Amino acid sequence: MVMIMENEMRKHVEGVQAGAAGRGKTYDMAYCAIFAVLIAICSWISIPMAVPFTLQTFAVFLAVVVLGGRRGTMAVVVYVLLGAIGAPVFAGFTGGIGIIMNNTGGYIIGFIFSALCMWMMERMLGRSTWVQAVSMVVGLIVCYAIGTVWFMAVYMRTTGEVGLVTVLGWCVFPFIIPDVVKIVLALSLGKALRKPLAGILGENR
């Protein structure tokens, strides 16, 4: 009798755990989708420049701060994949692999590596405010680096020679101060949003 009760109790616990895992996956997909849409909306708020000035960077950082490294990176990947298959989620309501292969596409790919950098630092150093702030700065630098190299490679292949300082003047220098502001906003707003979601998202992110 005792063994039967133990077996039934174990089955019940396993059923509860399986249900919780299923709900966890549902929450994962839902929040990743929500933040992928948020990144798209922020990309539509655009000022035309050599590299369009948008709020994408802010949304990418916010996704990782709120959802954590794994889910935040998933949201960014979903956003990029949506754009790659043609959904108009990039700046100017554009989409398609051609946008990514264009000279500014490296900055879009760079968003994924920004999120990965934040995830890596989160796993190594935790999720304190200073770690997240530093990880955003590192992620931003990585995005700048990937995007600038990509821009130069495509530009020189399709248009002609261009110097590094010139490209930095087009694609990086005008964005530094606005991107620092985005980091501050993403950090402060992300902390406020994460508190009410902590019970749903859990600590293992």
Q: pLDDT tens digit string along 151-204?
A: 999 999 988 899 999 999 999 999 999 999 999 999 999 988 887 766 556 554
180, amino acid identity:
V
Q: Is 92 in contact with 101 (CB distance < 8 Å)?
A: no
The tens digit of pLDDT for each residue in 20-75 reads 444 557 878 888 999 999 999 999 987 776 667 889 999 999 999 999 999 999 99
Among candidate residues 134, 130, 121, 21, the one with its CA nearest the CA of residue 73: 121
Rounded to whole angstroms, the Cα distance separating 155 from 195 reads 44
Residue 75 DSSP code: H
Q: Which residues of 50-65 are buried (b: 16+ CB within 10 A; e: fewer)?
A: ebbbbbbbbbbbbbbb
Mean pLDDT, the chain, whole residue set: 85
* Percentages (nearest 5) of helix, strand, coil residues in the chain: 80, 0, 20
Q: What local confidence, expressed as pLDDT, does residue 193 receive?
A: 85
Write out the two tokens for 141: 């630098």
Buried/exposed 142-169: b ≥16 CB within 10 Å, e otherwise? bbbebbbebbbebbeeeeeeeeeeebbe
Retrieve residue 189's tokens.
């707003």
Q: What is the CA radius of gyration of the chain?
A: 20
Q: What amino acid occupies position 105?
A: G
> What integer is the mean pLDDT of 13-20?
40
Number of H helices, E strands in the chain: 8, 0
Q: Which tokens go with 149?
A: 């190299």
Taking residues 129-140, report their average pLDDT. 96
Look up residue 151 and give its two tokens: 């821009």
